[in-house]
Chain A
C-alpha cells in the first residue's frame, strides 16, 4: 500500500516537466490577455465575424463528418479485411499530414484548375476562396478523429447482442439503429466533439485553400495569424477564446466517455 503511494508520487514527479512545458505557454497567453479590454476586443468587427464564421463552418463540418463518417466507422468496426486495413490507413493520413499539404492537395483537387475543376466550372461552381472551401478543409483534417473514435465504440459492442437481434429477425438497419447506435453513442459524441475542436483550430489547409478574407473565409485561427502582425490584442483575445472552447470540448468528451465506461 505504502509503496504503491510512493510510486504514484514518483510518476507524478516525472510527469511534471512535460506538464509544465504544456502549461507555461498557456499561462503566458492568459497573463498577456487584455481582460480589461476583452469586451472591447470581442466587439471589434474582425473578431466578431471570425467567431461567427468559425461557429457556422465548424458546425456544418461536424454535420458532414457524422453523415459521411459514421458508415466508414461502422465498416471499420465490423470488418477487418485487407481493404478495411487500407481504408483505416487512408483515414489516418490527414491526422499526420501537415495541414499545408492538405491545403495544397485540396486546391489541386477542387480548385478551378484542379482535377475536378472543369466539372465544377461546367456546373458554375467555384470552390476555392469560398466558405465551401473552409468547410472542406476542416472536414478533411477533422473527420479522422470522429471515425476513429466511432469505430472503436462500435467494435466494443458484444457480437452476441447483434447476433441475437439478427436471429429475432432484425435487419441491418434495425440493428444499427436500436443496438449499435445507442450502445456506442458516448464514443460517437466524444469523437464528434474532438473532431469539432480540431475543425475549430484548423489553419494551414484553410489559408491555402480558402484564402483569407474577413467575414468570408477568415476563421478564428486565420484572424489570430493575421492579427498577430497587426494587433496583438486581437490575436491574444481570440487565442484565449479558442483555448477556452477547446479545453471545454475536451473535458466534455472525456466526461462522456467516463460516464459510458
Chain B
C-alpha cells in the first residue's frame, strides 16, 4: 500500500493539472458533438466515421505522419551520433540551431519553404510546391530535432565498453551497431518516434501551406468542421477517432519500448574525434543540416533585402512604431514578453514532467502496479495527439464559467507547458529507467534518505537529459502552438504574435520586417539553448 500511496502522492499534482487543462476541455467539447437535443447520439457520430471522405483523410494523415517519422528517425540517428558522440568544433552551435525550427511560427516556416520551393524560388524547378514531398519535408524540418536531441541524450550516456568488446571479438561496426548499440537505444528511439508521429499527425499549417490546400488531414478537417462549419458532431467523431488512434499508438510504443533489462551501465563516453569510418554519419548529418538550414537561410537572405539591395533596413524597422508601421510594440519588447512566458512554461513543464518521469520509471513490484504506471505514462502523452482546435474550443466551453473560471488567468504558458510535457517525460524516462535500482538500494543502505538518494543517484544521471528537455520545453514555448491561438492574448504581444501581424499586413515594408523579426526569434532561441547546453556541459564535466 505504501508504494501506491507514494505513487499517488507524486502523481497527484500533474494528474490534477492535466485533468483541468486537458481532460475537462476535451471531454466538454467532444461531448457537445455527441449530445443532440439533450440525448446521446452515437449513430450520427458513427455515420461520420463511415464516410468515404473520413477514410481518405485518415489514410493521408497516417501515411504522411508515418513517412515523416521514418525519415526523421533515419536522418536523426546518424546526426544524434555525430552531434553527441563525436567531438568537432561548433557542434554545440549546430545542436542549438537544430532546435530553431521549433520556435518559428508555422506561417513563417510555410513562407520560407514556399520562397524556396515555389515556382519563382531557387528550388522551384523541382516542382515540389504543393506536393506530399513538400509536406513531408516540412514535417521533418520541424521534428528531426526531437530525434536528435532525445536519442542523442541517451547515446551520450551509453557505455561504450560493450561495443568495444564486441569489436575486439571481431564484430564489424555494422554488427556492433545492430547487436549492441541499437538494442540499447531502442527505448529512446521508440520514445522519440512516437512523439514525432504525434506532432506530425496533428500538424495543421504545414499540411495546408505546403500542400497547397490539396491535402486534408484529420487535424485540418477538425479545424474546418469546428471553426468554419460548426459541425460539432463530425468534429467530435474525428476527435474520438484521433484519441483512439493515439491510444493504440501509445500501447504499441509502450510494448516496443519495453526491453527485458532496461538497465544501462551509465558511463559517459568522451566524445572523440571523427574518423574515416564516421564518414556516412557525418555525411547524413550534413544532409540534415542542409534540410534545416535551407529555409532558415531563405529567411535570413529575405530579411537582408530591401528595395532590391542588401541592407539592414528591415532590422532597423523592428523598433519603429507608429505611422506607416505595422508594429504595435517594438520587437524588443515582444521578445522580452516571449522570453518571460517561455521561462514560465519551461519550469512548469520541467517540474511536472520530472515528477511524472520519476513515477513512471520506478520499477514496479506487481503487474498491477506496472500497468498503473504505464497508463499514467500514456496519459501524459495524450495532449500531443489531440487536435489543438478541440482543446482550444474546449477551453472556452469549460473554463469560462465556475467552478473552473480560469479563462482570465494567463493560460498560455500552461497550455505550452502541456505541449512540452511529453517531450520532457520522453527524454527523461529512458535514462531514469536505465538506472540500476541497486544503486539506489546501495545509497539507502548506506543511510541516505529518499531525497538524498534521489539527489545523489538519479539527479546526476538525468542532469544532461534534463538540460536537453529544458531546451525543448523552452523552444516549444517560444513558438506559438495550436491551442494557444485560441486563448485570449495578454495585452503584451509575444514575438510570434508580432510576426503574425507583420506578415498579414499590406504595408510594403512589413514583409521584410516580419522576416527580420523571425530571424531575431531564431537567433534568440539558439542563443538561449546554447547557453543552457553550455551550463549543463560544464557542471557535468565537474562531476
Q: Do A and B come from one complex?
A: no
B residues with CB within 8 A of A: none
A residues with CB within 8 A of B: none
